């Protein structure tokens, strides 16, 4: 227990024992010191005896003082003025010229005012540059930064700046921008919830700038070989009465559209439709290009591309259920949400198989993934189970397995060597929650799931009656600990697919996960996301690379950073965190090598800034202790297009709404005086507690040594022992 004695109003001396106890012991020690020196041998003068007694008493009291670990504490009080967050737009639209004056030059002139210098000298200014996010820096670095960022997210920027300065008292936010908003939440709506005044400084011309550009290129992200894929192109912001030629072509050089576009002068022109035949699998590139027109701002926005992934066909998934149940319905719905899957459900009832039973033999023969729910049971169709088991054993069709109360362990034993766990007879189930256990490539290769296992509603499980095999990987556990989800990779199988992740319980009611999280903003899609990841991992070929290097997108705008993501796994699929991952990026005869940084769980990432627009290729590899684990390669496209050019006019209306909703004020960059007149950064009294432990201070120890040394010296001079 800690006891304190106030010495002054704002100071205290704290000991590890009650003050009365310390004082009592100190008095005893002082009395003992004087008793010891009441008589000495040989006798000395009264003055020397008293001096020796005082030295002994001071030494003993000092030792007692240190033994009870005294701590001196007080409050520092100071006046501190609130901080000003300054956010300066450095997106590409700030490089535009309005009537011959570049917006960025006006910003530099504004930031050079004496008021900002004074705020910097008084340590009140916190400068940030922003585009699609905010970056902290000095005022000079913000002034000298070139306006080249792609995308404008003012609301996200000031929220990020507030988070970065959450430990400080922020009195106001000043946003210097042209008002462009093409990413993130709507600024005026976010400003309405702000507790801090937001002052906006508008830069640029509010009139609509005419230009011929490709405002957007719409098409499917995924298509199937042999299908016709629709393409929609939206030319935008033209000049009335002018025409331009629009061409749409594919990666094989075929022209899909070649026609004249007559601009009407509206903000967005008509949409042009086209189709192309996806006759080859793989990545397919579609490019829309528009001829330049007079009075256009730039030709960099006249061309856009999209890359489409063309699959051979949909994956055939067969769901087998031992009986109708809510789990079957929810699981089927989750699988059907994936457009790359074609799901056939075979549900057993007393009357036989329903939902596709007529074509069950054909469905099983074509199956590329089996999904079991409470299957097989003792009453399951023997011939059907025989054909399913043969496909799993001999062909290596992967399995997504969910246990149930009617499962026949005797029949399931037919494919026991394909399961990652071993079963024992199960007692009555109990309600048990889940907790996260080990990472797994099926889950860790992407961003985190919308909800952790601990947030899932409790499910029913027979704890202690399932054992993970040595080849299994535990993904999640019950509490108390037991296997909840497990998976394994099977080797030496024909077809070489993944063998099953397994979610087990006497009746694991997984549909509750979706219902229980339905009102959760972060967890509403947990169940669908989980099933999608598991099915994708199962359908991946077994010779899948242990080293994967990808980019977050296939097409980038010039000026954007390319974000590389790496995944490195060992031979046992365990994530490798100690690898050196290098990526070489090249275009024409120029090359650059970057190193990816480990983020744990076998995940690596890094950024690369392209030199120019064009088609880039990359090749990477991972090395651990001199051994190469694997290699991967790919390509990406960098276009001159910048979404800042879609609507480059200054949006003073938006900035005025932001200031009004937050209680701040809007000013034009060429009339900033009213801004500083309204910036009233309040001063508040700040108290900070300070503590100094006295028991380990060298000065006190030196005093103690000095007292003891003087006592010893006087005793020796007096002839005492």
Q: How far apart are the first and last CA of the chain?
A: 41
Q: What HEC string does 245-275 produce?
A: EEEEEECCCCEEEEEEEECCCCCECCCEEEE
Pairing of strands 282-290, 614-624: unpaired
> According to the model, what pLDDT value does residue 305 have?
81
**In the beta sheet, which residues pair with residue 344?**
318
Report the C-alpha gap between 543 and 501 in whole angstroms: 18
> According to the model, what pLDDT value does residue 505 have?
31
Report the C-alpha gap between 330 and 345 in whole angstroms: 12
Q: What is the pLDDT of residues 613-645, one digit of tens each?
A: 888 999 999 988 878 888 888 888 887 776 666
Q: Is the pLDDT of residue 4 over 50?
A: no
Q: Specify the higher pLDDT residue, 451 or 690.
A: 690
Report the C-alpha gap between 231 and 175 in whole angstroms: 39
Report the C-alpha gap between 160 and 412 in whole angstroms: 53
CB neighbours of residue 184 within 10 Å = 18
Q: At what angle do helices 326-336 and 526-539 cross, to 10 degrees?
A: 70
Question: H or E element: which one contains 607?
Answer: strand 603-608
> According to the model, what pLDDT value does residue 11 have?
59
The 3-state DSSP class for residue 110 equals helix
On whether the CB atoms of residues 284 and 307 are closer than 8 A, the answer is yes
Pairing of strands 228-236, 213-219: antiparallel
Least confident of 42-51, 259-268, 283-292, 619-628: 259-268
Give Cα separations from 62 to 13, 371, 715 (angstroms). Answer: 15, 77, 20
Indicate if the alpha-carbon torsion angle 351, 356, 362, 364 is positive or negative: negative
> According to the model, what pLDDT value does residue 181 have?
81
- Measured in degrees and rounded to the nearest 5, phi and psi for residue 451 equal -145, 145
Q: What is the pLDDT of residues 17-26, one digit of tens each?
A: 787 888 888 8
DSSP for 267-311 reads SB---EEEEEE--S-EEEEEEEEE---TT-S-STTSEEEEEEEEE
Q: At what angle do helices 698-717 and 46-67 cross, to 10 degrees?
A: 150
Confidence of residue 593 (pLDDT cuts 50, 70, 90): very high
Q: What is the pLDDT of residues 502-534, one digit of tens each?
A: 333 333 445 555 555 445 555 556 677 777 777
Q: What is the pLDDT of residues 435-448, one digit of tens each?
A: 454 455 555 555 55
Report the C-alpha gap between 443 and 207 in whole angstroms: 49
**In the beta sheet, which residues pair with residue 200?**
175, 666
Report the C-alpha gap between 245 and 262 in whole angstroms: 9
**Residue 414 CA from chain centroid, whole number:** 43
> According to the model, what pLDDT value does residue 586 have?
92
Question: H or E element: which one contains 635?
Answer: strand 627-639
Report the C-alpha gap between 466 and 601 in whole angstroms: 26
Mean pLDDT of the chain: 76
Q: Is the pLDDT of residue 492 over 60?
A: no
DSSP for 142-159 reads HHHS-S-BS---HHHHHH
> According to the model, what pLDDT value does residue 384 have?
86
pTM: 0.53
CB neighbours of residue 91 within 10 Å = 27
Report the C-alpha gap between 89 and 178 in whole angstroms: 8
On whether the CB atoms of residues 244 and 260 are closer than 8 A, the answer is yes
Confidence of residue 78 (pLDDT cuts 50, 70, 90): low
> According to the model, what pLDDT value does residue 581 have?
92
Report the C-alpha gap between 542 and 544 in whole angstroms: 5
Question: Using the 8-state DSSP alphabet, how is residue 569 labeled?
Answer: B
Domain ranges of the chain: 3-76+692-717, 83-207+649-681, 213-311, 315-539, 547-641
Nearest Cα neighbor of 200 from 654, 703, 697, 691 is 654
> According to the model, what pLDDT value does residue 643 have?
64
Question: H or E element: which one contains 175?
Answer: strand 170-177
Report the C-alpha gap between 145 and 519 in whole angstroms: 44
Indicate if the alpha-carbon torsion angle 167, 172, 176, 181 is positive or negative: positive
Confidence of residue 684 (pLDDT cuts 50, 70, 90): low
Report the C-alpha gap between 330 and 288 in whole angstroms: 41
Q: Is the pLDDT of residue 699 over 70?
A: yes
Q: At what angle do helices 19-36 and 46-67 cross, to 10 degrees?
A: 150
Report the C-alpha gap between 442 and 440 in whole angstroms: 5
> According to the model, what pLDDT value does residue 76 have?
67
> According to the model, what pLDDT value does residue 582 have?
93
Domains 83-207+649-681 and 213-311 share a fold: no
> According to the model, what pLDDT value does residue 271 have?
76
Report the C-alpha gap between 432 and 484 in whole angstroms: 10
Question: H or E element: which one contains 88?
Answer: strand 83-89
Report the C-alpha gap between 494 and 102 in whole angstroms: 66
Nearest Cα neighbor of 427 from 458, 376, 463, 468 is 463
**Residue 103 CA from chain centroid, whole number:** 34
Q: Which CATH superfamily is domain 547-641 in?
A: Macroglobulin (MG2) domain (2.60.40.1930)
CATH for 315-539 is: 3.40.50.880
Report the C-alpha gap between 445 and 566 in whole angstroms: 9
Angle at 92 between CA 86 and CA 95, to 5 degrees: 85
Q: Which CATH superfamily is domain 83-207+649-681 in?
A: von Willebrand factor, type A domain (3.40.50.410)
Burial of 72 (0-12, 13-18, 19+ CB in 10 A): middle
Q: What is the pLDDT of residues 215-240, one digit of tens each?
A: 777 777 777 777 777 887 777 665 66
Question: Using the 8-state DSSP alphabet, how is residue 112 labeled?
Answer: T
Pairing of strands 562-568, 547-551: antiparallel
**Residue 674 CA from chain centroid, whole number:** 40
Q: Is the pLDDT of residue 650 over 80?
A: yes
- Say if domain 213-311 classifies as CATH 2.60.40.10: yes
């Amino acid at each position: 227990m800690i006891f304190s004695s106030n010495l002054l109003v704002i100071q205290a001396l704290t000991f590890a024992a009650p003050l009365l106890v310390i004082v009592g012991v100190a008095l005893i020690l002082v009395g003992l010191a004087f008793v010891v020196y009441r008589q000495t041998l040989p006798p000395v003068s009264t003055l020397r005896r008293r001096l020796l007694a005082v030295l002994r008493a001071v030494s003993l009291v000092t030792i007692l003082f240190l033994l009870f670990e005294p701590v001196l504490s007080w409050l520092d009080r100071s006046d501190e003025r609130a901080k000003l967050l300054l956010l300066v737009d450095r997106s590409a639209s700030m490089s535009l010229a309005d009537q011959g004056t570049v917006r960025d030059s006006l910003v530099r002139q504004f930031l050079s005012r004496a008021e900002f210098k004074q705020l910097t000298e008084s340590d009140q200014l916190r400068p940030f540059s922003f585009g699609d996010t905010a970056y902290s820096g000095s005022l000079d670095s913000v002034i000298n930064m070139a306006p080249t960022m792609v995308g404008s997210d003012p609301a996200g920027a000031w929220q990020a700046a507030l988070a970065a300065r959450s430990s400080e008292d922020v009195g106001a936010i000043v946003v210097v921008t042209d008002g462009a908003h093409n990413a993130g939440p709507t600024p005026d709506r976010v400003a309405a919830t702000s507790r801090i005044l937001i002052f906006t400084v508008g830069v640029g011309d509010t009139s609509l700038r005419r230009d011929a550009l490709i405002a957007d290129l719409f098409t499917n992200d995924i298509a199937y070989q042999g299908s016709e894929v629709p393409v929609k192109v939206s030319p935008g912001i033209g000049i009335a009465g002018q025409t331009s030629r629009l061409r749409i072509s594919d990666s094989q050089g075929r022209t899909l559209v070649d026609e004249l576009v007559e601009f009407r002068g509206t903000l967005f022109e008509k949409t042009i439709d086209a189709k192309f035949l996806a006759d080859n699998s793989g990545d397919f590139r579609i490019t829309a290009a528009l001829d330049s027109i007079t009075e256009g701002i730039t030709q960099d926005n006249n061309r856009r591309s999209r890359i489409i992934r063309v699959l051979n066909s949909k994956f055939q998934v067969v769901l087998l259920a031992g009986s109708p149940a809510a789990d079957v319905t929810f699981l089927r719905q989750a699988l059907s949400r994936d457009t790359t899957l074609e799901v056939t459900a075979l549900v057993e009832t007393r009357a036989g198989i329903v939902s596709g039973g007529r074509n069950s033999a054909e469905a099983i023969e074509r199956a590329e993934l089996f999904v079991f729910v409470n299957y097989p049971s003792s009453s399951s169709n023997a011939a059907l189970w025989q054909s399913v088991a043969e496909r799993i054993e001999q062909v290596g069709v992967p399995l997504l397995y969910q246990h149930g109360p009617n499962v026949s362990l005797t029949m399931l034993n037919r494919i026991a060597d394909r399961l990652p766990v071993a079963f024992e007879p199960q007692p009555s189930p109990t309600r048990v929650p889940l907790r996260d256990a080990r990472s797994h490539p099926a889950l860790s290769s992407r961003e985190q799931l919308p909800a952790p296992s601990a947030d899932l509603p409790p499910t029913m499980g027979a704890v202690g009656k399932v054992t993970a095999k040595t080849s299994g990987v535990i993904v999640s556990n019950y509490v108390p600990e037991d296997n909840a989800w497990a998976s394994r990779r099977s080797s030496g199988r024909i077809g070489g697919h993944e063998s099953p992740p397994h979610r087990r319980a006497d009746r694991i009611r997984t549909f509750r996960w979706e219902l229980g999280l339905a009102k959760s903003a972060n967890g509403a899609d947990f169940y669908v996301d989980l099933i999608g990841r598991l099915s994708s991992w199962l359908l991946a070929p077994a010779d899948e690379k242990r080293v994967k290097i990808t980019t977050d997108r296939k097409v980038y705008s010039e000026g954007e950073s390319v974000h590389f993501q790496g995944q490195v796994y060992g031979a046992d699929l365990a994530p490798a965190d100690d690898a050196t991952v290098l990526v070489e990026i090249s275009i024409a005869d120029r090359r650059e090598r970057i190193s990816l940084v480990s983020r744990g769980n076998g995940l690596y990432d890094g950024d690369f800034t392209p030199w120019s627009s064009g088609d880039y290729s990359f090749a990477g590899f991972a090395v651990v202790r001199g051994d190469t684990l694997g290699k991967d390669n790919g390509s990406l496209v960098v276009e001159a297009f910048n979404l800042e050019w879609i609507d480059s006019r200054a949006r003073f209306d938006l900035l005025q709404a932001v200031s009004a909703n937050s209680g701040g004020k809007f000013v034009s960059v060429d009339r900033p005086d009213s801004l500083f007149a309204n910036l009233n950064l309040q001063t508040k009294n700040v108290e900070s507690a300070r503590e100094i432990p006295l028991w380990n201070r060298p000065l006190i120890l030196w005093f103690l040594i000095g007292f003891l040394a003087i006592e010893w010296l006087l005793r020796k001079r007096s002839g005492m022992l």
